[in-house]
Chain A
Amino acid sequence: MKVDFQTVILKLQEFWSQKGCVILQPYDAEVGAGTFHPATTLKALGPKPWRAAYVQPSRRPGDGRYGENPNRLYRHHQYQVLLKPSPDDIQDIYLDSLRYIGLDPILHDVRFVEDDWESPTLGAAGLGWEVWAGGQEVTQFTYFQQVGGFVCEPVSVELTYGLERLIMTLQGIENVYDLAWNDPKGPSPMTYGDVAQQMEREFSAFSFEHLDAPMVFRHFEDAESMCSQLITNKLGLPAYEYCLKASHLFNLLDARGALSVTERANYIGRVRTLAHACCTLWMENVCG
């Protein structure tokens, strides 16, 4: 079976589409994780059922390694699934998805290992596991208990596949840049390195060396202020987008080492306040 990067994505799209998910596109703003996509954060709130799946490129400026580390990336890809309410047989469905992309749970000793998840910036928390395959964490499996400070009723389940790790396990390779992105026997074979290594080099240099911290601090203030104004005007979705911007700018400052521990806590608190306000407005606008 072909297990190149894009085939796995296509297979996951197919699988979750069959499970009734709306297949969405990545959110078109910088985010640190698929959870931040409004299709997860906001849609997990309120009573209405919802099933969605999508790829989300996720930026972690602190993990940038100039394209040289075989495992760490400035930008990696998550495959994100959200099901509300969580189905009773969700573990079995999830394991079927692994089989569907060619990962045999017996051959790879798939395990559910306790890992409670928390996002301080989103005011979100859940209980679940990290799913291991051959000792590698390949998925974060979480039952949302709270988002934006609101209790989740009903409870959504979030599955976050770390695509690079998962597919490295499938292809049995050591270096992410060696991953086959498309069919290695096809007319124009490309590796992960061909597609993404230049970006890794340049963005690592940007965030560690060339980021203008005072300017980014200003951008943070602006994003925060815009978000607040939009909330006053009851425009929840644009407000949430500016909350995401603030969150990403915070990540940039953090990776640059521009924040002391106390300041760091303070900035996290500011983003959380915005996220909470956005979630509150969303509940009012959409959930009544």
Chain B
Amino acid sequence: MFVAEWLFEILSEEIPSRMQPMAQEQLKSLAEAELQTEGLGFETIRTFVTPRRLTLVVEGLPLKTAERTEEKKGPRVDAPAQAIEGFLKTAGVSREACAILDTPKGQFLSVTIKQPGQVTEHILSKVALTLLEKFQWPKSMRWGSSSVTWVRPLRGFLCVFDGKVVSFSYAGIEASNRTQGHRFLAPTPFEVQNFKDYEKKLREHFVILNWQERRQIVKTDVAKVAGELTPLKDEVLLDDVTGLVEWPVALKGKVDEHFMNLPLEVITTPMRIHQRYFPLMDGQGKLAPFFGLIANVDAPDQGKAIVIGNERVLRARLADAQFFWEQDQKHPLEHFNVSLKTRLFHQHLGSVFAKVERLVKLSTRMAEKAGTDPKIVGRAALLSKADLTSQMVNEFPEVQGIMGRYYAQNQKENPEVAQALEEQYWPKVSGGGIPDALPSLILAMADRLDTLVGFFAIGITPTGSKDPFALRRAGLGLIALALNPRFTLSMLETIGWAYDCYSWDELAVPQLKSKKETLADLWKFLLERFKFFLRDVQGSPYDHVEAVLNVADQNPNLFDLSLRVKALDQLMDGEDGKNLLVAYKRASNILKIEEEKDNCTYEGQVKEELFDLGEETELFKNLSQKLPEIEGFVKKGEFVKAVQDLATLRPVVDRFFDKVVVNTDDKNKRINRLHLLAYFRKTLHQVADFSKIEG
């Protein structure tokens, strides 16, 4: 059968950069689903995105769909005439055309309906419309007098199948075989035959269609203009810039030397966040007075005017930053706390200053218990939110905490206090670094505990996609922090302290939850986040996580639990683990069947005098020795040793099953052997509930 290619481009006004990669994915999955629904097979499907276009190309589509036959079952032969007539009418056939179907329930009318093959082109015009209607943007809009919505106004459809236009019209626009290239460099529309032609002509018209290719060009070319310098690694910025250009051209600009005395972040934040420049670093890893920038054009003056313009904008921004840097330091950091009194944390949870006061209490208590200087932690807590009302953070919110550190350093605060002011916000992203210093760690945890406990206590918890106070993020952050081995406190207990730090009487919250209820809700929420962490961040299989959490539900030390899961991962990776699991399953199956049969649980004392065979004695001796050993390892958190010990049981238990018949006729011996199996099960359960492991 002949096959052909479908090319569909949706041309629009500029699509926000951050939405482009997801749009490309969505177009692909939507198109796959729609083609399937229409019964259209294909070989490959690819999608592309630039700031102005979203493109789909499907290869290997048939020119016509195959004829389809469908068997339709009707009413019984002896059904009332009305029912039969109705059936014939909907099926569009006469009584004579029907076959009779013999079934155990009687004779039924049946008809075979032939659906003739359809011309693919017709189906595609329908699919194109469906794609436009079903596509979902994070935010969409209307324009002109049309009621259609899209991310920005739609301006054209290029829709070609097998070299010919697939005609349809949407939002007042007729599909054609024409499109446009770069907005400025080659604005004249041109015709396109097929995808190969399309991609080539776009390139001739200054458009690199492939997002990945553009990204690579951005990366390589910035490095090229940087020369001896190295662009600061920033994947997010790379993505963002890629979505702002169809024809990336790298240029290099200069930063005025006198700004170089400002802190690194104060210089790079306006560069990266506001202007999308790449900061350049010298050989010593110091910020150099230059930046890389990506233009969307090859300018006839080699970009001179563009560089001058961008340098001017950066100069204005850095002049502001310099002004704020000087103004902010006219007062001691603590002075900014005054403005926190009128800044609301939450309607029912008081001002940000009230939060600061709670943080002082909570983190001091945590410091006392954790054995670090409560004065340092308390001081850090008192200053923790001061920089939020500084002019610099007002202008550049991204440098919160960082400014706190600089200002504290310059005002000769204790270095650990200054460090904690910055590190309280770590981890900044999922999987980001966590503080190592105990004061920072405690402040970071206290901040999240206070937020989580507060919102849970007033009944605000994340539901579905709604999480306006970013509590999930706070939860994940808290878990990541708790996994620092230096945190040795009980999570449950600290949650309780956080609850007690609130002045609930003064706050007069309607429908406040009790401490007990808040603790239970929050702990359940944290365990869910923890499971997510173990699976998606640590990369442990789902069943291992379940197996460990099932025996360790009451162990509130998350760090221990994560180590235990890791050790289990390691064990199950090897042959010993797999065989041990087989033996475990065999043992627990026998136990399950016999326990059900006898309606009891076999957990009694094993009696050595009832053993017949050496293998029984061997297993019992091994278990008697290993169980207390493993228990000890688990208590000390030495899980690798614990699973290594478990692994040594494997040959012993294998020999046991080779030689010993559990269900012997001797009633006492049978029960004794069941007790021995239960002893084996109990030993394994010291580490994890192996019944949860798939294998």
Contact with B along A79-123 (1 / 0, CB 8 A): 000000111100100010000000001111111111010000000
Q: State the Cβ distance, B320 to closest chain A Cβ, in Å.
A: 8
Q: Please state if B153 and A143 are interface contacts (CB–CB under 8 Å).
A: yes
Known contacts A85-B144, A87-B144; is-contact A107 B306 (Cβ 8 Å)? yes
Query: Can you sample 8 A-B contacts with CB below 8 Å?
Result: A87-B144, A107-B306, A110-B184, A114-B18, A135-B275, A135-B293, A135-B309, A153-B145
The stretch of A2-10, A126-134, A205-213, A232-240 in contact with B is: A126-134
Within 145-204 of B, Cβ neighbours of A (below 8 Å) are at 145, 152-153, 155, 183-185
- Report the Cα distance A107→B312, complex, angstroms: 15
Q: Please state if B312 and A262 are interface contacts (CB–CB under 8 Å).
A: no
- Report the Cα distance A168→B309, complex, angstroms: 10
Q: Please state if B315 and A127 are interface contacts (CB–CB under 8 Å).
A: no
Contact with B184, one of A71, A105, A145, A168 (Cβ below 8 angstroms): A105
In the complex, whether A162 has a CB less than 8 A from a CB of chain B is no
**What chain A residues lie within 8 Å of B185 (beta carbons)?**
106
Q: Please state if A109 and B296 are interface contacts (CB–CB under 8 Å).
A: yes
In the complex, whether A155 has a CB less than 8 A from a CB of chain B is yes
In the complex, whether B520 has a CB less than 8 A from a CB of chain A is no
Known contacts A88-B155, A107-B300, A107-B306; is-contact A114 B16 (Cβ 8 Å)? yes
Within 136-155 of A, Cβ neighbours of B (below 8 Å) are at 136, 143, 145, 152-155
Q: Please state if B305 and A108 are interface contacts (CB–CB under 8 Å).
A: yes
- Report the Cα distance A128→B14, complex, angstroms: 9
- Report the Cα distance A250→B471, complex, angstroms: 33
In the complex, whether A195 has a CB less than 8 A from a CB of chain B is no
Contact with B309, one of A86, A134, A152, A153 (Cβ below 8 angstroms): A134
In the complex, whether B367 has a CB less than 8 A from a CB of chain A is no
Q: Please state if A155 and B144 are interface contacts (CB–CB under 8 Å).
A: yes
Measured CB to CB, the nearest residue on chain B to A107 is B305
Contact with A along B478-500 (1 / 0, CB 8 A): 00000000000000000000000
In the complex, whether A202 has a CB less than 8 A from a CB of chain B is no
Contact with A261, one of B18, B153, B344 (Cβ below 8 angstroms): B344
Main secondary structure, interface of A, reads loop
**What chain B residues lie within 8 Å of A263 (beta carbons)?**
342
**What chain B residues lie within 8 Å of A105 (beta carbons)?**
183-184
- Report the Cα distance A129→B308, complex, angstroms: 23
Known contacts A105-B184, A136-B312; is-contact A113 B244 (Cβ 8 Å)? yes
Known contacts A105-B184, A135-B310, A135-B313; is-contact A143 B305 (Cβ 8 Å)? no
For chain B, the count of residues having a C-beta within 8 Å of the partner chain is: 44
- Report the Cα distance A108→B251, complex, angstroms: 13
Q: Please state if A134 and B316 are interface contacts (CB–CB under 8 Å).
A: no
- Report the Cα distance A155→B144, complex, angstroms: 5
In the complex, whether A70 has a CB less than 8 A from a CB of chain B is yes
The stretch of B135-143, B555-563, B617-625, B626-634 in contact with A is: B135-143
**What chain A residues lie within 8 Å of B509 (beta carbons)?**
none
Q: Please state if B13 and A91 are interface contacts (CB–CB under 8 Å).
A: yes
Q: Please state if B342 and A172 are interface contacts (CB–CB under 8 Å).
A: no
Q: State the Cβ distance, B423 to closest chain A Cβ, in Å.
A: 27
- Report the Cα distance A110→B14, complex, angstroms: 12
**What chain B residues lie within 8 Å of A261 (beta carbons)?**
342-344
Measured CB to CB, the nearest residue on chain A to B243 is A114
Known contacts A106-B297, A107-B300, A109-B295; is-contact A134 B144 (Cβ 8 Å)? no
In the complex, whether B319 has a CB less than 8 A from a CB of chain A is yes
Q: Please state if A143 and B293 are interface contacts (CB–CB under 8 Å).
A: no
**What chain A residues lie within 8 Å of B16 (beta carbons)?**
114
**What chain B residues lie within 8 Å of A25 (beta carbons)?**
none
In the complex, whether A169 has a CB less than 8 A from a CB of chain B is yes
In the complex, whether B79 has a CB less than 8 A from a CB of chain A is no
**What chain B residues lie within 8 Å of A110 (beta carbons)?**
184
Q: Please state if B244 and A111 are interface contacts (CB–CB under 8 Å).
A: yes
Q: Please state if B18 and A154 are interface contacts (CB–CB under 8 Å).
A: no
Known contacts A261-B342, A261-B344; is-contact A133 B309 (Cβ 8 Å)? yes
Measured CB to CB, the nearest residue on chain B to A112 is B14
Q: Please state if A154 and B297 are interface contacts (CB–CB under 8 Å).
A: no
Q: Please state if A116 and B305 are interface contacts (CB–CB under 8 Å).
A: no
Q: Please state if B18 and A108 are interface contacts (CB–CB under 8 Å).
A: no
Contact with B142, one of A69, A106, A145, A174 (Cβ below 8 angstroms): A145
**What chain B residues lie within 8 Å of A188 (beta carbons)?**
none
- Name which of A91, A106, A108 has the most chain B CB atoms within 10 A of its CB: A106
Contact with B306, one of A91, A109, A112, A126 (Cβ below 8 angstroms): A109
Q: Please state if A127 and B139 are interface contacts (CB–CB under 8 Å).
A: yes
Q: Please state if A134 and B313 are interface contacts (CB–CB under 8 Å).
A: yes
